[in-house]
Chains A and B, each alone.
Chain A
Amino acid sequence: MPIARRSVLEGMLAAAASSFVPLPGRAQEATILTRPIPASGEVIPVIGLGSWITFNVGNDPVLMDECASVMAAFFTAGGRLIDCSPMYGSSQTAIGYGLAKLGMPKPLFSAEKVWTSGPDGPGQIERSRQFWGVPRFDLVQVHNLIDWQENLKTLMDMKSAGTLRYVGITTSEERRHDLLEEIMRTQPIDFVQLTYNVVDREPEQRLLPLAGDRGIAVIVNRPFQQGALTRRLRNESLPSWAAEIGVSTWAQFILKHIISHPAVTVAIPATTSVDHVRENLDAGRGVQMDAGMRARMASYVQDL
């Protein structure tokens, strides 16, 4: 069923900064905050779950069960969006295994990618769907701009036919932001996925404001620079004012900075740890930062 994206777009962004909607998580905790998808108004929690590297565990039964445990903790803590790609080795298989083991949790918001050149896009998406075991994907994105014109047409056709709810495009490379910007300006996409964090802030200049203007939901990948950022900060002290903003770890500091940007819809940290997935989801609870505090956070890290 096509979504009349422009009919619900107007005014949505202006309200985004104040449109956090609580979603039930663990009963004893504050609810996780949500953001609306501009195309539809549907809300999703601001913290999702990435699967790059962490869920590529091959046919290792112990690690498959660990992935399922991470997913169980994610859903229990109020998470919804899980992101994957055919490029991520066996991650799709691990996600499908976890979803089946957990009885296909209803809150799931499935975000996949198409990663191929030429006419195999529909076939690849169908294979991905079978790996996941879902009736259809909520979101499919063109992976890293690969053959983006052909693949975007495939996704738009699927959306028109009602076999896909949202269409998106991704990159994790700053040097490709010019092309990404052009696509955001000219194509009716629902989601864009890019890299943004407290040290990689180039998207603040053009892409995030553009997403706001165009009513495009933003998924933020590599929030921890694949772990490099948290490793770098591991031996540094959090600022003395960290407790005031509800932050007790560097991971929460980084995630709160990201999801507090009004144009960001959801950040997708990846982890193999149940404790870390809970910690990540906790960053989506409580007070969020205004522009002044976000600048202060970035400045603090820059000065370390």
Chain B
Amino acid sequence: MKILSIAFNTFRENLRDKLLYNLLIFALLMIGSSIIISKLTLGDFDRLMIDIGLASVNLFGVLIAIFIGIGLVSKEIDKKTIYTIVSKPVARYQFLLGKYLGLLVTLLINTTIMTGGLLVVLWARNVTVEGLLFQAVGMIFVEFMVMTAVAMLFSTFTSTTLSAIFTLAIYVIGHLTPDLKTFGEKMDELGRLVMNGLYYTLPNLERFNLKGHVIHHQAISGTDLVLIACYGLAYTAMLLFLAALIFERRDFR
């Protein structure tokens, strides 16, 4: 119950944050602009609209996850609001989980709104919508879960600015991990070990990207979907566990 109270309070904090609305408006503008861009294209405009639409949902969701996620804990420490929470009978991991769940609820609502915007645009241009599109959005949300956990992990031990830089770096590298492996194969023994290590420890975010499947109407099997989701959830759980370990040992000076 305490976790839910903290989650609700975090959600309320997000709702009263201007950053959220700015990002949401930009996302909707970008999705809407795909109508204009598609008019400049010869044929295949539905592909372009789905591509731009899903990319916008992904990008702006990740931006919300990162820029609100990095402040979740470090802002509480900087503003000393954490003093009044930790001095109550609340375990530190409960605080962390509550903050995480609160942002996840915010992201869920945002994703729903952005997807709604995309559906309106597609409907306006008479593009048929397949179930695959929703599967893709679902996987984008799993990616948000991972990225929020990454942002939160960094914010338990470093400043807001550094957290932002690290989390953005993880996001970019996370989409390029298959390249790391390919790079490694062309290096010497040590290089291959390092690159393989990175390949297996960093999140493979490209796994959550089903845009290609939607555009090319390639169905994805249920088992694959479950495996990808499990990978995301397991990775998130590990990050949260690490964050809780670090947070538990911290002195709030």
Do A and B come together as binding partners? no
B contact residues vs A (CB 8 Å cutoff) = none
A contact residues vs B (CB 8 Å cutoff) = none
